[in-house]
Amino acid sequence: MNRLNFAVRTIAIGLGLAASNSFAAEGYPTQPVKMIVGYAPGGSVDTFARIVAPKLGAELGQPIVIENVPGAGGIIAVTRAVNAKPDGYTILMGIVSDVVIAPLVQNSAKYTYKDLTAIAPLGISGVGLVANPQLGIRTFGDLIRRAKAEPGKLTYGATGVGSLPAIAMESFKKTTGADITFIPYASASKIATDVIGGNVDLAISGLPALLEFIKSGRVTPIGVMSHERDIGNLEMPSAGETPELKGMDYYFWTGIFAPGETPEPVVKKLNAAFARVMAQPDVQERFKALGVKVSPPTSPGQFGQFVANSHQQWATAIQEAGVPKQ
């Protein structure tokens, strides 16, 4: 084959693939779409998915079927999404913990964020710190002073050694010189229950999981581990309001992903449909009630860059906190 014929054939193949992708997006979807959720029914991420799924299905004209794949802090679910056929019929509701942090701290995570196609962000929610009311600790300042006066006596519960809340708290300890003993837990709801029962002094978790305990007065809210106050509870001070913690800015983000190499026209169609869902007033109100600040409409490329920046931020934070890979 001469060079001219080779070039013509290459162009023809490229045009054929582009036309095929465009046609696939035009007809997409023609069957139900599976949304993988890496956590058990009833948890925060599952709740987010169940708010979004019927609305997204209405926009796309096909049902969104939620598949809960709990285990290993979301690693099993992300692995399943990474290995799924990249045709738009499998999507993932991923969070910073399983998409970005897990590969940095867990040897069992055999993927990176680059193995996924970013579609669209859902929103962000805070990392809250609460205490047993009997302790009399009501502010970050109170906690720092008590921990320094009684080194090693106070305890805090968080999910997993390499979880976002645990890393945030270890960063808090390193930044302030506070000595607080870490007690690992399997679930956030169990930590809050043990704080109420006096089995552990402090709980640090995603704020949505703590809101009902705070509202009922069963735990004392200390603050959120971010620069700004959180939409979930604007009365809770932010870490940025305490001089010793001005550099601290930890929060959860949630978004929609697809397997790597999912055709761009399909990704754009999913992005546009998801943006319309998240713009609906009733959806925004429901997420606000859960303590989630809905993200503005963002292109897949912009969300992909956000995820890449988050990876870099967490790689640095994990190194500074001295969290070993396990």
Same domain (yes/no): 158, 171? yes
> Residue 24 domain-assigned?
no
Mean pLDDT score of the chain: 90
pLDDT digits 0-9 by tens, 100-141: 999 999 999 999 999 999 999 999 999 999 999 999 999 999
Q: The CATH number of the domain where 138 resides is what?
A: 3.40.190.10
Ramachandran quadrant class, 73 (left: phi over 0; alpha: psi -120 to 50; beta: rest): left
Same domain (yes/no): 184, 279? no
Which positions ≥6 away from 28 have C-beta within 8 Å? 88, 265, 266, 269
Closest CA to 236 of 218, 220, 250: 220
Q: How many residues does the chain have?
A: 326
Of the pLDDT bands very low, low, confident and very high (cuts 50, 70, 90), residue 320 is confident
Give dist(CA 161, CA 303) in Å, integer: 28
For 8, phi and psi rounded to 5 degrees? -65, -45
Give dist(CA 283, CA 320) in Å, integer: 38
* 229, 245, 261 - which closes a domain: 245
Same domain (yes/no): 108, 45? yes
Same domain (yes/no): 130, 227? yes
pTM: 0.83
> Residue 11 domain-assigned?
no
Same domain (yes/no): 233, 267? no
* 211, 245, 279 - which closes a domain: 245
Same domain (yes/no): 225, 272? no
Q: The CATH number of the domain where 111 resides is what?
A: 3.40.190.150
Same domain (yes/no): 101, 163? no
**Paired strand residues for 261:** none
> Residue 3 domain-assigned?
no
Which positions ≥6 away from 207 have C-beta within 8 Å? 125, 126, 127, 128, 224, 230, 232, 233, 291
Of the pLDDT bands very low, low, confident and very high (cuts 50, 70, 90), residue 12 is very low
CB 203 within 8 A of CB 191: yes
Same domain (yes/no): 136, 230? yes
CB 189 within 8 A of CB 209: yes
Output the pLDDT for position 9: 55
- The torsion of the CA quartet 232, 235, 236, 242, rounded to 10 degrees, works out to 140
Same domain (yes/no): 134, 152? yes
Same domain (yes/no): 220, 140? yes
Range of the domain at 80: 31-124+253-321
> Residue 22 domain-assigned?
no
> Residue 266 domain-assigned?
yes
> Residue 192 domain-assigned?
yes
Q: How many domains does the chain have?
A: 2
Closest CA to 260 of 309, 298, 300: 300
* 227, 245, 263 - which closes a domain: 245
pLDDT digits 0-9 by tens, 56-107: 999 999 999 999 998 888 999 999 999 999 999 999 999 999 999 999 999 9
